[in-house]
Amino acid sequence: MTIANQSNRRAYNYAYLDEQTKRMVRRAILKAIAIPGYQVPFGSREMPVPYGWGTGGIQLTAAIIGPDDVYKCIDQGADDTTNAVSIRRFFARVADVATTERTQDASIIQTRHRIPEAPLGPGQIMVYQVPQPEPLRGLEPRETETRAMHAYEEYGLQYLSLYESVAAFGRIAGGAGYPVLVDERYLMSPSPIPKFDNPKLHQSEALHLFGAGREKRVYAVPPHTDVRSLDFEDYPFEVQSWDEVCGLCGCGESYKDEVILDDAGNRMFVCSDSAYCGDRRVAGHAGPMAGHALDGLATGDDNTDDDAAAVGIEA
């Protein structure tokens, strides 16, 4: 039988997950797209990787990926962290896909904590690893209650919490996982991306899929969908900004990480998006610290960790 022959070619199924698990996740993804911002529960099968490693994002990627895809994986904006490299090599092996660090070249971008700086285009898919999908969980621990709040659009508690923040701090506190309203209906956690990235979700050209492995939830923001960060008329939503430009590429607009340079407390700010920063430097942009030893690291390719060992998967 043809089917048996094809599955026998590998020690595991295409993209690692079995077909039945993929169907289950795929059905959940379709409902998530049909109900933007709503958290669709999916079945209770376990992934062969430990939680905290990005199981939700990995399950989504495994369910959607095909051999024609070009795959990029970032962790905190960087392509070269141990996690990002491991996951990228994993899919290169189990799904026969090309991989890239260039945002513009990727068809699927799996991410933890950032949306790339380069504008996303039509046909691109962002896959987010989500540790806590429920935006209301910090305010209401009971799942039955938060489910009812979403069902009947009772988001007063969330506004009250933001208002209390204004009263206490004179502004809306909080930097990551800042809640948004999707298509003016569902309250959604954009995962722990900095609120700097929230505006990139609004009317994006790309499809955004969010996967929470432990909580077994998938939710989505389709392309060209309204995504509004909650705020008040007199306390409008604001994103972080930096007085400093990127030390390496000189960019003023990007999201910056602070890097401590030495024991004397010298520091610089660099783009959190390493591929974006590298592209700019290749194009000739230079920041005040250009030529610093760190300049080479961001584009280095000296990752020696083995993906199979890192994720406990038999080669």
* Contacting positions for Zn ion (CB under 5 A): 246, 248-249, 251, 271, 277
Residue 113 and residue 89: Cα distance in Å, rounded? 20
For other proteins (CB under 8 A), the number of binding residues is: 49
Could you say whether residue 23 binds other proteins (CB under 8 A)?
yes
Nearer to Zn ion, 135 or 247 (CB): 247
- State the Cα torsion 301-305-310-312 to the nearest 10°: 120
Q: Which of 249, 251, 278, 287 is catalytic?
A: 249
142 touching other proteins, by CB under 8 A: no
Catalytic residue among 211, 271, 278, 287: 271
Closer of 56 and 192 to other proteins (Cβ): 56
- Measured in degrees and rounded to the nearest 5, phi and psi for residue 12 equal -140, 165
Give catalytic status of residue 73 as yes or no: no
User: Which residue from 65, 74, 106, 115 is in contact with other proteins, where contact means CB under 8 A?
Assistant: 65
> Residue 246 catalytic?
yes
Question: Rounded distance, CA 43 to CA 183, Å?
Answer: 26
Among 81, 225, 272, 274, indicate the residue that binds other proteins (CB under 8 A): 225
Whether residue 251 lies in the annotated active site: no
Quick check: 45 binds other proteins (CB under 8 A)?
no
What is the rounded CA–CA span in Å between residue 108 and residue 87?
A: 13
Q: Which residue, 188, 199, 187, is CA-closest to 156?
A: 187
57, 246, 247, 278: the active-site residue: 246
Q: Kindly state the smallest distance separating residue 289's Cβ from other proteins, in Å.
A: 41
The least CB distance from residue 251 to Zn ion, in Å, is 5
Residue in 115, 126, 207, 270 binding other proteins, rule: CB under 8 A? 207
| Nearest CB to other proteins, comparing residues 144 and 304 | 144
121 is catalytic: no
- Measured on CA atoms in the order 159, 160, 165, 168, is the torsion positive or negative? positive
- Binding of residue 312 to other proteins (CB under 8 A): no
249 noted as active-site residue: yes
With binding defined as CB under 8 A, does residue 267 bind other proteins? no
**What does the chain come to in residues?**
315
Positions annotated as catalytic residues are 37, 246, 249, 271, 277
Q: Which residues bind other proteins (CB under 8 A)?
A: 2-3, 6-7, 13-15, 19-20, 22-24, 26-36, 38, 40-41, 43, 63-67, 123, 147-148, 150-152, 183, 185-186, 207, 220-226
